[in-house]
Structure 1
């Protein structure tokens, strides 16, 4: 994927610091793989589905990820990085 977000301590929003390690792993996978369903995230991270669900809940509370209903299966959501938030963090760090 050509428009990957590189997550580093410098480019991640400050809210990432308040998330558990499982949530940081989910963010990293989303940054590298793009939008994924909860079950695909569980597969990619090798975390239990329940842990992924908790991580996504925490990430949504901090507005770090967006979710949309899957077009291929309306019973599932597709999760992706909140690009606006990460773009603001990159801009903030570029100014510093």
Structure 2
């Protein structure tokens, strides 16, 4: 394919590749604009702890986060909510149990 349409398709593919590589699919946020640890630093201590546990342990459920952090489930839900608002954590479903939410850190 040649012409102006091929350039638009190539640009779109490059943008998708960047978003996929940084875990920012469909957000319209470039990696340079993505929140980082400086964003987490402004959050409550419980959110910082949850972020660090997710960094070291990988994706976890709310129950697993409560066990790892030794925080009450309500505090974990609050911390995860704050991290989601800051676009630092994404929510997905467990492959073992679709009723269970799993949280993943979106920063390096």
Query: When the two structures are superposed, what TM-score results if normalisation uses the length of structure 2?
Result: 0.64
Gaps of at least 5 residues in structure 2 are 1-35
Does 1:13 pair with 2:42? no
Does 1:54 pair with 2:68? no
Residue correspondences, number: 73
Does 1:35 pair with 2:55? no
C-alpha deviations, 1:28-82, integer Å up to 9, x for none? 1011111100000000000000000000000000000111111111111111110
Q: Structure 1 segments of 4 or more deviating over 4 A?
A: none
Look up the match of 2:101. 77
- Higher-Rg structure is 2
Look up the match of 2:89. 65
Structure showing greater relative contact order (alpha-carbon pairs closer than 8 Å, 6 or more residues apart): 1
Moved more, 71-80 or 50-59: 71-80
| In structure 2, C-alpha distance between the alignment counterparts of 1:73 and 1:28, rounded to whole Å | 25
Gaps of at least 5 residues in structure 1 are 1-11, 88-96
